[in-house]
Amino acid sequence: MMSLSLDDTFRFSCSESLSCFNECCRDLNQFLYPYDILRLKNHLGLSSSQFLEKYTNQHIGPESGLPIITLKTDYTSKLRCPFVNQTGCSIYKDRPSSCRMYPLARVVSRSRETGKITEHYMMLKEPHCLGLNQEKTQTVRKWIEDQGITVYNEANDMIMEIISLKNRLMPGQLDLKLRHLFIMACYDLDNFRFHIFEKGLLDDFILDSDPLDAIEKDDLELLKVGYKWIKHMLLGQQPVDP
């Protein structure tokens, strides 16, 4: 791997004319962030519960002790992504953040004192990828803009903050109840929304009318509230207006 700054340039271009086309969609062990699942389930017209059951596996992170979600691959076809076909990615418009970033990887660190995020970028030089030999060049900054990665990074940094706080203040695995609540608020958003409006889940959580109207219709706003609620449930942070 090679380290890059935002304004460093790199060579890469991918197209179906390359013999390696779709090879990066095989032999996967792909982690899905909550925002990835939000975009994918809406693209496919599925509820979050349906998407999780059909397309994902659940594990417990060995370091964080938190549930993590991975993409369920096709074991009969070299661990291929379920969304790839002969013409490419069938969900390209809403593909996960790691797919958008490739051939780059983003590494984030957060200061315990200030909370400031520092990001680093690495270029993955995999031998099968012929796109790295193409003439097209771009900066890391331009790649992020062109691939629509910013909104993914912003949403992903929120869950990374929770993981960081959890590791520092509440090490070890969650009990079954907290694990269920974490999965619902972060990954199973349609079920989370149902429990908010039909079961009064957030009745003791301070929300004004505008956020309630927003989370009834907007999955990203609902996810942001879910993150705030999880911090309160897991870490004892007091509820606040989003």
Residue 105 has pLDDT above 70, yes or no: yes
CB 71 within 8 A of CB 32: yes
Q: What residue spans define the domains of the chain?
A: 2-148, 174-235
Q: CA-CA distance, 231 to 66, in Å (whole number)?
A: 13
- The Cα-based distances of 166 to 29, 73, 160, 182 in angstroms read 24, 29, 10, 12
CB 123 within 8 A of CB 10: yes
**pLDDT at residue 241, rounded to an integer:** 41
Strand partners, 121: 4, 106
- Position 239 confidence tier, pLDDT thresholds 50, 70, 90: very low
**How much is the pTM?**
0.90
pLDDT tens profile 14-40: 998 999 998 888 888 899 999 999 999
**pLDDT at residue 238, rounded to an integer:** 47
pLDDT tens profile 192-237: 999 999 999 988 876 666 678 889 999 999 999 999 999 888 877 5
Q: Is the dihedral of CA 86, 91, 96, 98 positive or negative?
A: positive
In the chain, where does DSSP find H-type helix? 34-44, 48-55, 97-101, 140-146, 150-169, 176-186, 189-199, 209-217, 219-235
| Phi, psi angles (nearest 5°) of residue 48 | -60, -35
Q: Is 204 exposed, middle or buried (0-12, 13-18, 19+ CB in 10 A)?
A: exposed
